Structure 1
Amino acid sequence: MSASMHLTTPTGTAIGQEALNALSSALFCTSLQPADMPEPDCVRREVLHMLGTDLTGQCKAQVAQATTAHPSHFASRMAWCRQMILLVFFRAACHVPAQFTQAHSDHQNDEIDSR
């Protein structure tokens, strides 16, 4: 992770791992799901909306609660969130599980075929 990654929000600035954590937590708190196969623009819009409207820290509380209340769901969802954030915001070289890339590819092909 490069230290050049930084994120400025209404509540402060995050650098590197902190930026990844903040963006991943914001995605975690949206209604987007891996099965939705969201487009990058949709992910960006939802994450930035969450960061801009969650000034009371409800998202942070939601993530903390999920950590203890549903640890296996938390782990899998947060892993997806982190991969999506790296892919969408930082275009970092990251491993995206085949089920996500294949499903996304199939979804795009279905859209093309339906035109």
Structure 2
Amino acid sequence: MNQHTALAQKTIAISRADYEALTTKIEDLEDRLALARSGKEESFPSEVLDRLLDGENPVRVFRTYRKIKQNALAATCGISKGYLSQIESGAKEGSLSVYRKLADVLDLDIDDLI
């Protein structure tokens, strides 16, 4: 067996773009692992995730998970119960400022609701 064949059997060649993509993914996974170990990120039960994956409105999912009544959330956010109901049913989208208030009261990142 020549030296070239032995080297080829022990190495893998990938493009620089693929290598950089892999290292980026590794760094992202390391960051996520560090965050998970820090206990700073909240986790949710599978029932919450199942409801979200089934397409249920995130505002409704997290409101009920937090055991907050619709009228209480609406009042705290300074909107009507009807408007909140329309957001939860998908009849209205809701403004960015309303979503910021909802996220704050529900103790979430706005990205969790949009």
Larger Rg: 2
Higher strand content, 1 or 2: 1
- TM-score past 0.5 threshold: no
TM-score bucket of the superposed structures, by smaller chain: under 0.3
Higher relative contact order (CA 8 A, sep 6+): 1
State the TM-score, normalizing by the size of structure 1. Answer: 0.27
